[in-house]
Amino acid sequence: MHEHTLIVGGGVIGLLTAYNLAAHGGHVTLIDRSAMGQESSWAGGGIVSPLYPWRYSPAVTALAHWSQDFYPQLGERLAAATGIDPEVHTTGLYWLDLDDEAQALAWAERNRRPLSAVDISAAYDAVPALGGGYKRAIYMAGVANVRNPRLVKSLKAALQAMPNVTLREHCEVGGFLRDGDRVVGVRTAEGDVRSDQVVLTAGAWSGELLQTLGIGLPVEPVKGQMILFKCEADFLPTMVLAKGRYAIPRRDGHILVGSTLEHAGFDKTPTLDALESLKLSAIELLPALADATPVKHWAGLRPGSPEGIPFIGPLERHPGLWLNCGHYRNGLVLAPASCELLTDLLVGRPPVMDAGLYAPDARLGLV
């Protein structure tokens, strides 16, 4: 194990990579240009499943399944260690009037997931607030959502309590320090920081940073907007999804409705158009929300990548540089497995799953 690992980007991926590595030993420095966990990892919905899991490749499925099993213990461990409960809330999820229901059911059978077609009356019994007119439903038991702003807060608190971790906030990384091809640290607005290895976990901004080494990484910002309501705690007992829009209940009655998918560069200004469109979706899903005013509206930038498969592993061209980025719509669900896998590779343990599926060199045509 190297002595000092520097991690660039303190979203859920950087925070959890730091947590895993620090638990193994060695010194870890995590740098963010803002406060930790204020970008996509704050803005997301926190569903602990891809929205349409059957539409993804086995590479995403493998990470998702490992992580789903792990989330409850991660939540408990963080709550016990920090007093900040990430609220892993297991509610199940109804998909309504899907076009590819047959594919979903076939996928569930192949992957042994608890997803099945149910009579639409069962969906209305389970979710009395559901809007009228839906004809078909499938339901997956056991799907949870995590209160992601609390998850990142709790991870940050856990790291602050570890003596071998340094957190540097409001410190922008501008590029990499090199000794020949080897990466030996980063350049920051506050001076150079040297390390034995560098891990790039800068979410949607990872491509920009890697470009400073002349490497084109296909990770691009995909804007997502979301609105939040506050209802009675029992208003929505499960997550519901129709026509690409979903409602997520938190334990205290907050309901998130999302999301848009926009290619708008790095602009994350919330727009009136999206607000109106999300409100319409909210009312169609849950008509009682017509009488409610959203308590918040925001946008975040997902780290979009080809097929939503993250880049996890070393870059042979630049020894000392490692990637863990490009989690697109699923960074919260995929985080535990991605960060476990990267830690395995960094410390030389047998990897928790086949690392080849995510290896940057092969996917970037660098070998």
Ligand X SMILES: Cc1cc2nc3c(=O)[nH]c(=O)nc-3n(C[C@H](O)[C@H](O)[C@H](O)COP(=O)(O)OP(=O)(O)OC[C@H]3O[C@@H](n4cnc5c(N)ncnc54)[C@H](O)[C@@H]3O)c2cc1C
Only segment of 80-88, 176-184, 203-211, 343-351 that touches ligand X (CB under 6 A): 203-211
Q: Which of 86, 131, 300, 314 binds ligand X (CB under 6 A)?
A: 300
CB of 326 to ligand X, least distance (A): 8
CB of 176 to ligand X, least distance (A): 11
- Residue 240 corresponds to which amino acid? V
- Position 153 contacts ligand X (CB under 6 A): no
Nearer to ligand X, 46 or 360 (CB): 46
- Position 6 contacts ligand X (CB under 6 A): no
Q: CB-based contacts of 35: which residues, under 8 Å, 6+ apart? A: 169, 170
CB of 9 to ligand X, least distance (A): 3
CB of 333 to ligand X, least distance (A): 4
Tell me which residue has tokens 């997520």: 248
Only segment of 29-37, 159-167, 275-283, 355-363 that touches ligand X (CB under 6 A): 29-37
8 Å CB contact between 235 and 208: no
Retrieve residue 126's tokens.
Answer: 């389970």
Helix (H) or strand (E) holding 70: helix 58-82
CB of 79 to ligand X, least distance (A): 20
- Position 281 contacts ligand X (CB under 6 A): no
Only segment of 55-63, 129-137, 297-305, 313-321 that touches ligand X (CB under 6 A): 297-305
- Position 31 contacts ligand X (CB under 6 A): yes
Retrieve residue 350's tokens.
Answer: 């047998």
- Position 202 contacts ligand X (CB under 6 A): yes
Q: Which of residues 305-344 bind ligand X (CB under 6 A)?
A: 325, 327-333
- How many helices, marked H, and strands, marked E, lie in the chain? 10, 19
- Position 74 contacts ligand X (CB under 6 A): no
- Position 274 contacts ligand X (CB under 6 A): no
What angle separates helix 58-82 from helix 331-347, to the nearest 10 degrees?
A: 90
C-alpha distances (whole Å) from 247 to each of 42, 59, 114, 257 are 17, 27, 20, 5
Identify the CA nearest to 2 among candidates 194, 201, 279.
194
CB of 12 to ligand X, least distance (A): 5
- Position 255 contacts ligand X (CB under 6 A): no
- Position 30 contacts ligand X (CB under 6 A): no
Alpha helices by DSSP H, 229-349: 272-285, 331-347
- Position 95 contacts ligand X (CB under 6 A): no
- Position 156 contacts ligand X (CB under 6 A): no
Distance CA 311, CA 364 (A): 9
Name the DSSP letter for residue 264: B
Question: Per-residue contact track with ligand X, 162 to 191, x per CB under 6 A?
Answer: ----------xx------------------
Retrieve residue 115's tokens.
Answer: 């997803």
- Position 303 contacts ligand X (CB under 6 A): yes
E strands of the chain, at which residues?
4-8, 27-31, 89-90, 93-96, 115-118, 137-140, 144-145, 165-168, 173-179, 182-188, 191-194, 197-200, 220-230, 239-242, 245-249, 254-258, 296-304, 311-314, 321-325
Nearer to ligand X, 82 or 330 (CB): 330
By CB under 6 A, how many residues form the interface with ligand X? 43
Only segment of 34-42, 134-142, 345-353, 354-362 that touches ligand X (CB under 6 A): 34-42
Name the site residues for ligand X (rule: CB under 6 A). 8-14, 31-34, 38-41, 43-47, 172-173, 201-205, 209, 224, 226, 258-259, 300, 302-303, 325, 327-333
